[in-house]
Amino acid sequence: MAEKMKILVVGCGSIGKRHLRVLTERRQVQIAACEVRREVFPEIQAIGEEIAIFDNLKEALAWQPQIAIVAVPNQFHHTVGLECLRAGVHLLCEKPLADTVEHAERLVAAARQARLVLAVGFSERYRPSIQYLENLAGSGQMGNLLGGRAMVGTYNTLLCATTDYRREQIGSLLLDYTHEFDFLRAIFGEVKDVYCVGHNLGRRKLLQVNPTLAVTVLRYESGAIVSVHMDYLQHPQRRSLEVIGEELTAELDLQTDTMKIYDWKQDGYRVLTFDPVRNERIRAEHEDVIEAVRKGTRPRVTGEDALKVQMVAEEAIRQLTFR
């Protein structure tokens, strides 16, 4: 019987606990959690009595995990990630890779030097509807990609957060929603120009971050132009994506995972429906990084990929801050 792989989850807020719950379904892994807040220990133990719990990273790494899943607040990704990589541990880091481009570059360089896997948790890339759209665009069936629109309007990331770091971090909205920048890159390629504006309108005190709304216009190297609307003001979970090609146009409602495809050769549109279950995406993400560690395959989203996304987000934040 093959030896069980050891997987450590660092940071047990809402996302970390989700990783733990999904990992408990795997028989061929041993699981540990690292969490500095001891009051969270009973919640971790309720997920699975077999989960080893540590209150500091040094002791957790002495447990000798093969993979660490980093789910701490954004500003700690690089310090926690570097400590794991220096201990010889492969990494699955929640998005964004770091809070700044400089910190992301350090993580990528450390993983490359140590020849360790650095995967990044852009879980939307494991959503079947996004994968379908990537393949549709990449196959050439849509014709030349002309542009598109992405919109996300939800404050659930604030409501379920266990720390207040988002309120203190300029541009936290753009870092929370780097999913959009990531899957747009998978569809349209590399970004050439970034323009971003935002504001702090809205009366809900719970949602007062800087900004509460941001609109980013991206011009890609192909010439395609995409607008990305992000806010913390609308009804939770409103989210959509439109990709416009010369031959086909696709509209995806990410709340219902329903896609409309318009074809120049036909009247009307056809409708495709996908499975929106979130835990399936987390399972696929885990399988991806485990395969990368065991077989040397390339993770769906690497540290290098996430660094390019980080560059787009940081430029958007810079414009919000200084223009």
pLDDT in tens, the chain (323 residues): 468 999 999 999 989 999 999 999 998 999 999 999 999 999 999 999 999 999 999 999 999 999 999 999 999 999 999 999 999 999 999 999 999 999 999 999 999 999 999 999 999 999 999 999 999 999 999 999 999 999 998 755 566 665 665 555 667 888 888 999 999 999 999 999 999 999 887 766 555 567 888 999 999 999 999 999 998 888 777 899 999 999 999 999 999 999 999 999 999 999 999 987 778 999 999 999 999 999 999 999 999 999 999 999 999 999 987 55
Which of 222, 227, 144, 143 is closest to 181 using CA atoms? 227
Is residue 184 located within the same domain as residue 108? no
Residues 144 and 19 in one domain: no
Which residues, 6 or more positions from 93, have their beta carbon under 8 angstroms from its beta carbon?
Answer: 69, 70, 77, 81, 107, 118, 119, 120, 121, 303, 306
Q: Which residues 6+ apart lie within 8 Å of 261 measured at CB? A: 248, 249, 250, 251, 269, 270, 271, 272
Quote the pLDDT of residue 163.
60
Residue 278 confidence (pLDDT): 77
Q: What is the pLDDT of residue 212?
A: 82
Local structure of 176: helix, strand or coil: helix
What whole-number distance in Å separates Cα of residue 75 and Cα of residue 96?
10
Domain with residue 108: its CATH number is 3.40.50.720
Rounded CA separation 7/20 (Å): 10
Q: Are 137 and 245 in contact (CB under 8 A)?
A: yes
| Residue 211 lies in domain | 128-275
Does 286 fall in a domain? no
Q: How many domains does the chain have?
A: 2
* 48 φ/ψ angles, rounded to the nearest 5 degrees: -170, 125
Where among 69, 91, 123 does a domain terminate?
A: 123
Q: Which domain-ending residue is among 123, 146, 169?
A: 123
Query: Does residue 145 share a domain with residue 112?
Result: no
Rounded distance between C-alpha atoms, residue 10 and residue 63, angstroms = 13
Provide the b/e sequence for 35-55 (b: ≥16 CB within 10 Å).
Answer: beeeebeeebeebeeebbbbe
User: Of 62, 91, 123, which residue constitutes the final position of a domain?
Assistant: 123
pTM summary value: 0.93
